[in-house]
Chains A and B, each alone.
Chain A
Amino acid sequence: MARFTDEELMRKVQEGFIVESEADMTESYRKALINQITVQGDTELMSAPAYWMASKDAPSTNTMVSATAIIQDELGHANIAYRLLQDLGVDTDALLYDRPPNKFKNPFGFDQPIANWAELVSAHGLYDRAGITLLSDVHRHTSYGPLKRALVKVGMEENFHLRHGEAWMKKLCEAGGEGRDLVQRAVDWMFPMGVEWFGMPDDRKHHNAQLDFKLKGMTNDQLRNTWLKAVVPLCESLGLEVPAHSDPDTGEVELEYGFPCEWDADDRVWLYDQPITWDQVWERWRARGPMNEEFVNSVRRSRGSIERMLAA
Chain B
Amino acid sequence: MGHLSGERLYEIFARQKRADRLEHIGTVSAPNPELARVYAWKTYDEATWFEMVVAPRDAFCAVNRDEVPFTLHPVETV
Do A and B touch directly, given a CB cutoff of 8 Å in the complex? Answer: yes
Chain A residues at the B interface, C-beta cutoff of 8 Å: 20-23, 72, 76, 78-80, 82-83, 86-89, 92-93, 96-97, 146, 150, 153, 156-157, 303, 306-307, 310-311
The prevalent SS among residues of A at the interface is helix
Main SS class of interface, B? loop
Indicate whether B43 reaches chain A with its CB closer than 8 angstroms: yes
Report 6 cross-chain contacts, Cβ distance below 8 Å, ordered by A residue. Answer: A72-B42, A78-B1, A87-B72, A92-B1, A153-B44, A156-B46
B67 touches A83 (CB 8 A): no
Known: A93-B2, A307-B4. Is A23-B67 also a contact (CB below 8 A)? Answer: yes
> Are A82 and B1 closer than 8 Å at their CB atoms?
yes
Q: Is B72 within 8 A of A82, CB to CB?
A: no
| Additional A-B contact list (7), CB under 8 Å, known A20-B69, A22-B67, A87-B69 | A79-B1, A79-B43, A83-B26, A86-B75, A96-B1, A96-B2, A153-B44
Chain A residue nearest to B29 (CB atoms) is A83
On chain B, the number of residues with a Cβ less than 8 Å from chain A's Cβ atoms is: 20
Whether the Cβ atoms of A146 and B69 lie closer than 8 Å is yes
Chain A min CB distance to B66 (Å):
8
Residues of B contacting A150 in the complex (Cβ-Cβ under 8 angstroms)? 26
Closest CB in chain B relative to A87 CB, distance in Å:
6
Does B5 contact A86, Cβ atoms closer than 8 Å? Answer: no
Asked if B6 is at the interface (CB within 8 A of a chain A CB), the reply is yes
B2 touching A86, Cβ below 8 Å: yes
Query: Which of chain A's residues has its CB closest to B2's CB?
Result: A93
Name the residue of chain A whose CB is nearest to the CB of B42. Answer: A72
B69 touches A82 (CB 8 A): no
In the complex, the answer to whether B4 meets A86 with C-beta atoms within 8 Å is no
Decide yes or no: A306 and B1 within 8 Å by CB, A21-B67, A76-B43 being known contacts.
Answer: no
CA distance A82 to B72 in the complex (A): 15
Contact between chains at B1 and A157 (CB < 8 Å) = no
